[in-house]
Structure 1
Amino acid sequence: MMEVTQTKSPILTIHNLVIKFTLRGRVLTAIRNISLDLYKGESLAIVGESGSGKSVLMKSIMGLLDKNGYIDQGQIIYNDRDLAQFKTEQEWLSIRGKEVAMVTQDPMTSLNPLKTIGKQIEECVILHQNLKGKVAYEETLKLLKDVGIYDVEKRYKQYPHEFSGGMRQRIVIAIALACKPKILICDEPTTALDVTIQAQILQLLKDLQQKYGLTTVYITHDLGVVAKVADRIAVMYAGDVIEIGKTHEIFFNGKHPYTWALLSSLPQLGSKGEQLYSIKGTPPNLFQEIKGDAFAPRNQYALKIDFVERPPFFQVSDTHYARTWLLDPLAPKVEPPEALQAFFEEGRRYAHES
Structure 2
Amino acid sequence: MRILTQALSHILTIQNLVIKFSLRGRVLTAIRNISLDLYKGESLAIVGESGSGKSVLMKSIMGLLDKNGYIDQGQIMYNNWDLTQFNTERDWLAIRGKEVGMVTQDPMTSLNPLKTIGKQIEECVILHQSLKSKAAYIETLKLLKDVGIHDVEKRFRQYPHEFSGGMRQRIVIAIALACKPKILICDEPTTALDVTIQAQILQLLKHLQQKYELTTVYITHDLGVVAKVADRIAVMYAGDIIEIGETHEIFFNAKHPYTWALISSLPQLGSKGEQLYSIKGTPPNLFQDIKGDAFAPRNPYALKIDFVERPPFFQVSDTHYARTWLLDPLAPKVQPPEALQSFFEEGRRYAHGS
Partner of 2:15: 15
Is the CA contact 2:4–2:231 (under 8 Å) kept in the aligned structure 1? no
The alpha carbon displacement at 1:83 in A equals 0.1
Distance 2:5 2:208 in 1: 26
The alpha carbon displacement at 1:246 in A equals 0.0
Tell me the alpha carbon deviations over residues 287-336 of structure 1, each in whole angstroms, 9 at most, x when there is no partner.
Answer: 00000000000000000000000000000000000000000000000000
The alpha carbon displacement at 1:68 in A equals 0.2
Is the CA contact 1:4–1:318 (under 8 Å) kept in the aligned structure 2? no
Identity %: 90
Q: 1:74 to 1:350 in 2, by over 3 A?
A: same
The alpha carbon displacement at 1:3 in A equals 16
The alpha carbon displacement at 1:6 in A equals 1.8
Is the CA contact 1:62–1:92 (under 8 Å) kept in the aligned structure 2? yes
SS at match of 1:50: coil
Residues paired across the two proteins, number: 354
Distance 1:35 1:151 in 2: 45
The alpha carbon displacement at 1:7 in A equals 1.8
The alpha carbon displacement at 1:4 in A equals 9.6
Identify which range, 134-143 or 5-14, moves more after superposition: 5-14
SS at match of 1:184: strand
Distance 1:346 1:81 in 2: 45
Distance 1:308 1:4 in 2: 35
Tell me the alpha carbon deviations over residues 217-256 of structure 1, each in whole angstroms, 9 at most, x when there is no partner.
Answer: 0000000000000000000000000000000000000000
The alpha carbon displacement at 1:164 in A equals 0.2
Is the CA contact 1:2–1:35 (under 8 Å) kept in the aligned structure 2? no
Q: 1:329 to 1:5 in 2, by over 3 A?
A: farther
The alpha carbon displacement at 1:353 in A equals 1.0
**Structure 2 gap segments, 5+ residues each:** none
State the TM-score, normalized to the length of structure 2.
0.99
Distance 1:216 1:79 in 2: 17
Is the CA contact 2:18–2:74 (under 8 Å) kept in the aligned structure 1? yes
The alpha carbon displacement at 1:41 in A equals 0.1
Is the CA contact 2:112–2:160 (under 8 Å) kept in the aligned structure 1? yes
The alpha carbon displacement at 1:2 in A equals 21
Q: Cα RMSD over matched residues?
A: 2.1
Distance 1:287 1:261 in 2: 24
Distance 1:235 1:263 in 2: 11
SS at match of 1:108: helix
**Structure 1 gap segments, 5+ residues each:** none
Distance 2:134 2:176 in 1: 20
State the TM-score, normalized to the length of structure 1.
0.99
Distance 1:3 1:81 in 2: 28
Is the CA contact 1:2–1:313 (under 8 Å) kept in the aligned structure 2? no
Is the CA contact 2:3–2:231 (under 8 Å) kept in the aligned structure 1? no
Q: Map residues 178-257 of structure 1 onto 2, 5 A cutoff.
A: 178-257=178-257
Tell me the alpha carbon deviations over residues 76-95 of structure 1, each in whole angstroms, 9 at most, x when there is no partner.
Answer: 00000000110001000100
